[in-house]
Amino acid sequence: MSAIFLLILLQLIGESIVQVSGLPVPGAIIGLILLYAILIWRGEISDEMSRTSGFMLQNLGVLFVPAGVGVIAYLPMIATQWWIILLVLFVSVCATVAVTGLVVTRLSPRGIEAVEATAQS
């Protein structure tokens, strides 16, 4: 219970900071930074927090369903240009994925796979 409370509380604080400061960043991102700072300060992750975050992130996909259904309500808006939009999204997403993946792979230091393997186990 305390883990989910902390996640919600930190988002609330994040949203409040955004309201007051007018920062162009979503409140949840501020909450993420605050939680990260707490983890550095404490130096460890509690079992409960580890389980709660693992559960939420493993099931992240379901959280986008309500917004995704909302897209359908706006389909008439793109009706006349749907093929242009599909083509542009297809090309742009594929190009961005390929370029970003290649740049990060080529420029990462040798031995990063070894770090990945230890992090996995």
List binders of other proteins among 76-95 (CB under 8 A).
77-78, 81, 84-85, 87-95
Ramachandran region of residue 46, left (φ > 0), alpha (ψ -120 to 50) or beta? beta
Could you tell me the smallest distance in angstroms from the CB atom of residue 117 to other proteins?
A: 10
Could you tell me the smallest distance in angstroms from the CB atom of residue 119 to other proteins?
A: 6
Looking at the Cβ atoms of 20 and 70, the one nearer to other proteins is: 70
Integer Cα distance of 21 and 40 in angstroms: 25
Tokens 């240009």 correspond to: 81
Could you tell me the smallest distance in angstroms from the CB atom of residue 18 to other proteins?
A: 10
Would you count residue 40 as binding other proteins (CB under 8 A)?
yes
Beta carbons within 8 Å of 76's beta carbon, 6+ residues apart? none
Looking at the Cβ atoms of 19 and 50, the one nearer to other proteins is: 50
Q: Can you give the C-alpha Rg of the chain in angstroms? A: 20
Looking at the Cβ atoms of 19 and 103, the one nearer to other proteins is: 103
Q: How far is CA 28 from CA 42, 97, 118, in A?
A: 21, 25, 30
Q: Name which position in 35, 41, 47, 79 contacts other proteins (CB under 8 A).
A: 35
Would you count residue 22 as binding other proteins (CB under 8 A)?
no
